[in-house]
């Protein structure tokens, strides 16, 4: 098994535009495209040019940008759509059609023989125009396996560049994903793409298992935005791959991840979640005393990701009742305060007692440490510490 041969299809400008708060202007799309190009994703997927007049112009505009990233657009498996998409100048076209009984009955109303015939016609036309083409089933995991494999084999035989598996409603689990990809990998010679929604919380795990099973391309969006709960988040996939082997993601400009996420979050009017993979404000924050001591000795004890690789720093939080004297000692060292271990342990006990009364700030801890540094006798230290309790509204 090898995870080294994979590419990210970044779909913030297609799937992400289906997010409830996304109303991208052309200028915003260009800004996002440039940021993702700088980050180093291999592909950008854009909304179908048939969606609206602006969508058509956006495809043309972004396809014309100077870039390393290849530009894709996403269309129905329909010849009229394919003709318009080819004329936009994109590098590739991702065609899709629903194959589950739900979508065949309640969406397009076509049977499997029709889908195969249509897929062959559209794929052959796009290839004749010198444009790469992916064919994907929609709602793959609620489709009949025999139907899926019959369709995939038909398009593989005519030279499609990729076939796609889509967990459109987020129903699949990692084992199901691994099994389907493994089966398909034995059947087709072309590349395989995975698109996984996060309705049941498995998008990252499913994407990772798809890679383990032989997928070559994974769809992501920044912060996982998209239809309903969205799809595999770019940062989450990066975190999972980095935790496996950091060499897998060296091809990406990792310190730009926070900038990309802040850009998209600002445009769609949301906050980056506090517990977001890598960039959430608590991602590298350590609080419990036993954790802080170990982190100060060796960060690998409680960090599987190195914040420095992402242009970030860790934070040892000490202004609370769970703090430990080793963490307090580290802060005293930062402040240049020479204190004995006994002094530090006494100061730590006092910090804990204050924190039991009211939430504290780092400046409060610093005031305690300075009081002990000046050798104020403990019984009289209340005078020096009164400002803390008064500021926090606690009786001294």
Helices and strands: H and E segment counts in the chain: 15, 10
3-state secondary structure of 41: coil
Active site residue 291: yes
Q: How far is CA 269 from the centre of its chain?
A: 17
DSSP 196: E
Distance in angstroms between the alpha carbons of the first and the last residue of the chain: 63
Q: Which neighbouring-strand residues pair with 96?
A: 76, 136
Q: Which neighbouring-strand residues pair with 195?
A: 166
What is the C-alpha separation between 326 and 332, in angstroms, rounded?
A: 10
Instruction: Provide the 10 A C-beta neighbour count for residue 234.
Output: 28
What is the C-alpha separation between 351 and 349, in angstroms, rounded?
A: 5
Q: Which among 20, 13, 8 is positioned nearest to 59, based on CA atoms?
A: 13
3-state secondary structure of 125: helix
**Given the residues 74, 286, 291, 350, the one annotated as active site:** 291
**Does residue 174 contact residue 207 with C-beta atoms inside 8 Å?**
no
Q: Which among 159, 136, 140 is positioned nearest to 217, based on CA atoms?
A: 136
Query: Which residues does the annotation mark as catalytic?
Result: 291
């Amino acid at each position: 098994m090898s995870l080294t041969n994979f590419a990210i299809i970044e779909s913030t400008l297609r799937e992400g535009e289906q997010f409830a708060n996304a109303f991208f202007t052309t200028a915003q799309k260009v800004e996002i495209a440039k940021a993702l190009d700088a980050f180093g994703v291999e592909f950008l997927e854009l909304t179908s040019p048939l969606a609206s007049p602006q969508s058509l112009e956006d495809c043309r505009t972004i396809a014309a940008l100077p870039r390393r990233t290849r530009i894709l657009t996403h269309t129905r498996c329909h010849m009229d759509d394919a003709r318009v998409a080819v004329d936009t100048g994109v590098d590739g076209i991702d065609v899709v059609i629903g194959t589950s009984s739900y979508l065949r009955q309640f969406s397009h109303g076509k049977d499997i023989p029709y889908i195969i015939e249509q897929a062959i016609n559209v794929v052959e036309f796009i290839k004749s125009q010198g444009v790469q083409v992916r064919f994907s089933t929609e709602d793959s995991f609620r489709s009949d396996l025999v139907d899926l494999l019959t369709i995939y084999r038909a398009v593989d035989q005519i030279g499609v560049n990729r076939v796609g598996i889509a967990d459109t409603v987020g129903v699949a689990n990692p084992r199901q994903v691994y099994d389907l990809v493994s089966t398909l990998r034995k059947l087709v010679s072309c590349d395989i793409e995975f698109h996984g929604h996060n309705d049941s919380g498995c998008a990252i795990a499913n994407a990772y298992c798809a890679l383990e099973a032989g997928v070559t391309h994974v769809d992501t969006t920044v912060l996982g935005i998209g239809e309903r709960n969205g799809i595999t988040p770019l940062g989450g996939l990066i975190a999972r791959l980095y935790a496996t082997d950091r060499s897998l993601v060296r091809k990406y400009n990792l310190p730009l991840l926070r900038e990309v996420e802040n850009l998209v979050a600002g445009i769609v009017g949301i906050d980056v979640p506090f517990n977001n993979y890598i960039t959430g404000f608590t991602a590298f924050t350590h609080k419990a005393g036993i954790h802080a001591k170990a982190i100060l000795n060796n960060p690998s004890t409680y960090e599987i990701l190195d914040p420095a690789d992402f242009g970030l720093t860790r934070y040892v939080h000490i202004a609370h009742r769970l703090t430990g004297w080793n963490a307090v000692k580290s802060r005293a060292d930062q402040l240049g305060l020479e204190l004995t271990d006994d002094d530090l342990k006494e100061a730590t006990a006092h910090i804990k007692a204050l924190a039991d009364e009211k939430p504290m700030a780092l400046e409060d801890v610093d005031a305690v440490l300075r009081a002990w540094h000046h050798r104020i006798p403990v019984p009289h230290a209340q005078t020096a510490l009164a400002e803390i309790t008064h500021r926090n509204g606690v009786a001294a």
